[in-house]
Amino acid sequence: MWNVFEYPFTGIAVAAASLLAIWLFNILKPDKKRRWYILIPIGIIALSFAVSYFVQTDKEKILAAVNKGIKAFKERQIEPIREIIADDYFDAVHNSKEYIIAYCQALFQMAMVDRVTFLSRKTEIENDRAVFTTEALVSFAEESEIAKMGKPFLIVKARFYFVKTPDKGWLINSSEILELDRKSVNWTQLRN
């Protein structure tokens, strides 16, 4: 069943069922018919949209962290990236948060990102750990070193490992580069 905190469709279905029940009740008991009964399904629909809008699920928090990183990369700002990376970050090449931050700063000079379009994304959450796998089309700005080398865009497949913080947020504590332009790669190959 749909998550009521992500999708208002469950509430809309309940509202439709309540509208049908009210309609039947009005047919069977015309003497008890009241005009305000119609407000019940309207209230259910409004409540379902409010819950969907105001309650942020873990999937939405993880996607917000990824989008924050993408926005920071486009604007070439390191602080937002620093905010979404856990202090105990490590991967196959970068064994600390500071190393991955330095790597990102070095990429700012070479890979000026213009736009990122998700081709696919998958989030798997288990307790206080999550894995976000995505394939995205990364378009580079014309003045980017990569674009000048004749590569205006790149299809990147990556996996990010998240850990839940005590304040219910999510931070990246590891990452893998899986593919570049549909060719299998890893961090070690990119370093060389």
Identify the burial level of 20 via C-beta atoms within 10 angstroms of its C-beta, where 0-12 means exposed, 13-18 middle and 19 or more buried: exposed
CA distances to 28, 30, 155, 171 from 24, in Å: 6, 10, 55, 51
Q: Report residues of the chain scoring pLDDT below 70.
A: 1-4, 191-192
pLDDT for position 80: 95
- Angstrom distances, CA of residue 98 to CA of 56, 186, 190: 29, 20, 18
DSSP, res 96: S
Tokens standing for residue 187:
């961090």
Tens of pLDDT, residue by residue over 67-109, are 999 999 999 999 999 999 999 999 988 989 999 999 889 888 7
- Specify the pairing of strand 170-180 against strand 153-164: antiparallel
Model confidence, pTM: 0.80
Beta strands across the sheet bearing 183-184: 113-126, 129-140, 153-164, 170-180, 183-184
CA dist 115 and 135 (Å) reads 14
Buried-state track 131-162, b at ≥16 Cβ within 10 A, e below 16:
bbebbbebebeeebebbeeeeeebebbbebbb
Q: What is the pLDDT of residue 123?
A: 94
What is the distance between the alpha carbons of residues 99 and 107, in angstroms, rounded to a whole number?
A: 12
If DSSP codes are grouped into helix, strand and coil, which group holds residue 90? coil
Predicted pLDDT of residue 3 = 67
